[in-house]
Structure 1
C-alpha cells in the first residue's frame, strides 16, 4: 500500500486551507425531487466534498424540488443572486442558452461519461461554449452532466417499428429533441420533467422522451406500457452555475475548492449515471413496462433520421446569428 507522509499530508491540507475570514454559506437550488439520482450524485456529493475539503468553512443551504422557483426560472434566480448556485437545464432556457443544447443532440456518444466529458471541455470557464454563451450571461459553470441516451416511453401505443410514433403527443424539452420528434412525425410538447406525470395522467401527453434514470424518481412507470431500447433520441444537459458577480466576491481559496471539486464530481457522477441506466431499466421492466428492440431495418431508419438532427439544429440557430456550427464542431471534436 502506498503511504502518504505526514509532511505531504500537511502540505496538501495547507494548499486548500481556507481562512476563517473567508467562510461562506452558499445557497444552492434545483428542481429535482428529493432522492433523484442527479441531485444525490452531483449536487449533494459536490456540497459534501466542498465542505470537507474546506475544513467546514464553506457550507450550504440546499433548496431541492423547485422550492426556490420553477426549473425555467433558476438561471434568472442565479443571475440575480437570489441563489448562489443554481441548476440550469439548457432546454428550459433556450432563449438565453440555445447553444448549450448541443449536448442534447443524438451525436456519436453512447454513455453519460462520453457526453459529459465532451460537454465539460467546451462549457468549463474558458471553453468555446463558455465564451459565447455562459460568460455573456454572467454565469460560470461549476459542474455538468449529460444524461444517458433518451428513449421513447408510450402510454398505450405498442411500439413495433419506426412508424409507431406518428401522431403521438411526445414530451420534449424543446431544442434538439423537438427536431427529433418531428422527424418521427410525432407532435412535440414542451413540458418540464416535474410536470410530466400529471400531463400523462390527464392525457396531455401520449409519450415521453425520457432517460431511464428519471422514470422512477418522477413515478412515471404506472402510466407507461412500452419503451424503446438501444436507440439514441438525444440527451439532456444538466449544469450547476454560479453568477460571475458571486464568484468574484469569493476568496481565491474558496474559488479553488469549488472549481476543483466541481470537475472531480462531474466525472464521478457520470459514472454513477451510466451504472444506474442499466439497473433502472431492469426496475422499470419489473414494474410492467415492456422494452422493445426494433427490427434492424427500423432501427437503422431511425438512426439515419437522428443523424440529421445536429446539422439541422446548427442551421436553424445560424439563421438567428448564433455560431452553432462552430460549437457543434467543437463538441464533436471533444467526443472521445
Structure 2
C-alpha cells in the first residue's frame, strides 16, 4: 500500500514538473546591481508565487546569454524568453523608444514622473507599443526611466565650458546630441564596458545615474560628479517575445500583465532611493559634488529644449513619428 502511494505521488510530481512553464530571463546587469536584486528577481519570485508555481525562471544576468545590444534579437530568436532591452543600445531598430532619454527641462530629480509617462505610451496598446515594440515582435512587461543623468568624471570641472573637448561615454542619440552641443566628444558604449574604458583613459567621464556608480566600481575611479542637473536619462525595459507570449496560458498572461505598472513604479521608487543614498556615500568617500554655476543655467535650458526639438524633427524627416511620440510623452 505504501509502495503504491509512493509511486502515485512520484507520478503526480513528475507530471507537475513536466507541466511547469520555464522561462529564461537575460540581462546585462551585474548580479549585485539594484535592478537585478530588487526588480528582476522580485518579478520572477512574484510571478512564480501568483501563478501557484506554474511558472519557474532561469536567470542569466551579466551578459551570460549575450551582449546588452543583442538581447532584443536574442529574445526574438528564443535564446531568451524575457530580455532586458535598452532602446539606447538598439537605436537602429527602436529610434522612437529613446524618447525617455531626452534631456528635457524638468524640475524633478525623481525617476517616477518619466517612468510612468513612458509606461503609458509603451505598455501593450500604447502609441509607442504600436509604433515600435509590436513591430519588433516584443511586448513590454515593465520599464524604468532612470533619474536624470549626471556627469561623473575623472578630472576636475566646474562649468559647462570645462566639458568642451572631453571624451564622455554616453548611450543613445539624445544624450549624444546634448554632449555635442556642449562641445564634448560623445563615445557610445554599454555600461559594463565603462570601468575598463575609464581606467585606461579611453573616456574622461560618463553620463549616468549616480545610483549606478558603485555597481560598476566607478566610485574607485571617478572623483567628480554633478547632482541635480539633467543630461538626459536611460530607458530600461524588460520584454517578452510576442511568439512566446502567445504560448502562455491566459491566467499566466494575466498575472504578468497585471504586474507591469506595479513593477515600473517599484523600479522608479527604488531608483530614487538608490540615487539619494549613493550621493551621500560618494560624498563620504571623498568624491566631489560639482555644483554648476547659475550662469550656466540659461545655456543648459536652451540645449535641453533644442535637443528635444531636433530629435523629433530628425525622425519626422525619416518618416518616423518623432513629434507625435514626443508630444505623447510630454
Q: Which TM class, normalised by the smaller chain length?
A: over 0.9
Aligned to 1:11: none
Which aligned pairs between 1:4-153 and structure 2 lie closer than 5 A? 23-109=20-106, 110=108, 111-153=110-152
Kindly indicate whether the alpha-carbon contact (under 8 Å) linking 1:89 and 1:237 is maintained by their aligned counterparts in 2: yes
| 3-state secondary structure, aligned to 1:28 | strand
Kindly indicate whether the alpha-carbon contact (under 8 Å) linking 1:231 and 1:299 is maintained by their aligned counterparts in 2: no
Which aligned pairs between 1:194-205 and structure 2 lie closer than 5 A? 194-205=192-203
Kindly indicate whether the alpha-carbon contact (under 8 Å) linking 1:20 and 1:57 is maintained by their aligned counterparts in 2: no
Equivalent of residue 323 in structure 1, options 315, 321, 324: 321
Aligned to 2:246: 248
In the alignment, is residue 298 of structure 1 matched against residue 276 of structure 2? no
Kindly indicate whether the alpha-carbon contact (under 8 Å) linking 2:20 and 2:54 is maintained by their aligned counterparts in 1: yes
Question: May I ask how many residue pairs the two structures share in their alignment?
Answer: 313
| 3-state secondary structure, aligned to 1:307 | helix
Using the TM superposition, give the Cα deviation of residue 20 of structure 1 relative to its aligned residue in structure 2, in angstroms: 8.6
Aligned to 1:15: none
Aligned to 2:305: 307
Kindly indicate whether the alpha-carbon contact (under 8 Å) linking 1:162 and 1:299 is maintained by their aligned counterparts in 2: no
Unaligned runs of 5+ in 1: 1-18
Unaligned runs of 5+ in 2: 1-15
Aligned to 1:164: 162
Using the TM superposition, give the Cα deviation of residue 106 of structure 1 relative to its aligned residue in structure 2, in angstroms: 1.5
- Runs of 4+ in structure 1 over 2 Å off: 19-23, 107-110
Residues 211-245 of structure 1, C-alpha deviations (whole Å, 9 max, x = no match)? 00110000011211211121101100000000000
Residues 70-91 of structure 1, C-alpha deviations (whole Å, 9 max, x = no match)? 0000000000011000000111
Equivalent of residue 178 in structure 1, options 143, 160, 176: 176
Kindly indicate whether the alpha-carbon contact (under 8 Å) linking 1:232 and 1:303 is maintained by their aligned counterparts in 2: no
| 3-state secondary structure, aligned to 2:289 | strand
TM-score under structure 1 length normalisation: 0.90
Using the TM superposition, give the Cα deviation of residue 300 of structure 1 relative to its aligned residue in structure 2, in angstroms: 3.1
CA 1:329–1:22: 2 relative to 1, 3 Å: farther
Kindly indicate whether the alpha-carbon contact (under 8 Å) linking 1:169 and 1:205 is maintained by their aligned counterparts in 2: yes
Which aligned pairs between 1:257-276 and structure 2 lie closer than 5 A? 257-276=255-274
Using the TM superposition, give the Cα deviation of residue 299 of structure 1 relative to its aligned residue in structure 2, in angstroms: 2.8
Report the Cα distance in structure 1 between the residues aligned to 2:121 and 2:248, rounded to whole angstroms.
24
Using the TM superposition, give the Cα deviation of residue 287 of structure 1 relative to its aligned residue in structure 2, in angstroms: 2.2
